[in-house]
Amino acid sequence: MKARRTLTAMVAGGAALALLVGCSGGSSGADGGKIELNVWTFGGMGLDEAFAKYQEENPNVTLKITNAGGADEQAQALTTALAGGKGPDVAAIEIGYMSQFKAQPQNFIDLRTLGADDIEDTFLDWRWEQGVAADGEVVGIPTDVGGLAMAYRTDLFEAAGLPTDRDEVSALWPTWEDFIKVGDEYRAATGKGMVDNVTNSVYNAAVRQGNEMYYGDGPDDLVYDSNPQVQKAFDLAVDSVNLSSKTGSFSEEWNAGMNNGDFAVLAAPAWMTTYISQQAPDTAGKWDIAAVPEDAGNWGGSQLTIPKNSKNAQAAFDFISWLMAPEQQLDIFQANGNFPSTPELYDTPDIQEFTSTFFNDAPVGPIYSQSVEAIQPIYEGPQQRIIDNAIQNTIGQVENGEESASGAWDRAMDNVKTALK
């Protein structure tokens, strides 16, 4: 389905919710005993309020929160733990790694045995399927929906002589070629790059606009070198290096750049909106949200799993079920921007009337809920992140002047093949 070229064409987003819940012992709770769940998080999950609410409603459970680093570090830690037979009670796996782990369903509890069938209809069909193994085992429960939109600084656009109204800004870039033209105009007017970096705000968005990315319809169907959408996104990124402020994503410079105006545009799934507001609180009201060029796409999300060796499997599943129930997903979205994977919420006043003061009163509820309709789900295979990293590293080398643009695509494909060996 093609996205409409209006505000409603923006894609629903969601944070890549990530958590590991490790149980350090205790009773399953059936006899009223205490349970201590050691919760590992990474990144700015924004779940503190939900955790506190859970503990208030479940006084027999103590949550010990520990930050486990980024998604890559978490996946490696889980791989090591499972290999040693020590895994946590609950592990959230970022979508880019989910196919790798669900290809080993023997390492996880089939959540159908704990009640997953009773909650399946609550979630978007395609998000649910991302947690289902080849033989039908339910390995993980969906968290949020990841997607695409563009956050931009209205004050910086005004200074560059560009429109600031969100519909007018969306109309500036119906295509990626138009987006590049706007970036050239912005640099000519300001002497600065319009985007943070082209990997984040061009490639990562464009490569997800379709129904295939690096894989076709299964784990053995590699199409990264033949899928025209991948090469198109790569070429767009290489052609747009003039737009870049060369600010690395999730770096201290990136966080500071949101505050001090080092760049004016940032690819923004729903979960990114909260990250921006947390890192740049002094810019409240100066940001707004516009459509992403061209089509919709999904970026982000994770699945909550229970490794096989969990000593509190039912308690862990009860925790997951509570955390991802519509009521909690709504609270998390309104507080932290993680867009729900439970579609029964989308047409409710709580979503349709929800706006963001930080983003110039943008109607973020309608923007992200309506855009879910345009998402074409993409199968992400077991070596998704390996392929992604190899391609992105090549783009970064061109962006930073370490390699020439000429022949960059062939070098990227060679780098992928080397990484997959």
DSSP letter for each residue of 202-261? IIHHHTTSSS-SSBSSSTT-B-TTT-HHHHHHHHHHHHTGGGB----TTSHHHHHHHHHT
DSSP H or E run through 20 = strand 19-26
Q: Where in the chain is the domain with CATH 3.40.190.10?
A: 19-146+299-365, 150-267+383-420
For helices 270-279 and 326-336, angle between their N-to-C axes, nearest 10 degrees = 40
Core vs surface per residue 309-332: b (16+ CB within 10 A) or e = bbebbbbbbbbbbebbebebbbbb
Distance CA 126, CA 37 (A): 30
Is the distance from CB of 237 to CB of 199 less than 8 angstroms? yes
Q: Is 281 exposed, middle or buried (0-12, 13-18, 19+ CB in 10 A)?
A: exposed
* Residue-wise pLDDT tens digits, 76-127: 888 998 999 988 888 888 898 999 999 999 999 999 999 999 999 999 999 9
Is the distance from CB of 378 to CB of 126 less than 8 angstroms? no
Q: What is the pLDDT of residue 32?
A: 57
Describe the strand order of the beta sheet including 150-153 as a list of residue ranges: 265-267, 150-153, 287-290
Residue at token pair 């289902």: 132
Is the distance from CB of 210 to CB of 297 less than 8 angstroms? yes
Positions of the chain with pLDDT lower than 70, given as ranges: 1-32, 43-44
Q: Where are the alpha helices (DSSP H) in 324-403?
A: 326-336, 349-352, 364-371, 384-399
Q: How many CB atoms lie within 10 A of CB 25?
A: 10
CATH number of 19-146+299-365: 3.40.190.10
Q: What is the pLDDT of residue 98?
A: 93
pTM: 0.88
- Kindly tell me the sign of the dihedral angle through the C-alpha atoms of 26, 30, 33, 36: positive
Is the distance from CB of 237 to CB of 196 less than 8 angstroms? no
Q: Cα 171 to chain center, whole Å?
A: 25
CATH number of 150-267+383-420: 3.40.190.10
Describe the strand order of the beta sheet including 35-41 as a list of residue ranges: 61-67, 35-41, 19-26, 90-94, 302-305, 140-142
Core vs surface per residue 53-91: b (16+ CB within 10 A) or e = bbeeebeebebeeeebeebeebbebbbebbeeeebbbbb
Residue at token pair 């943008």: 362
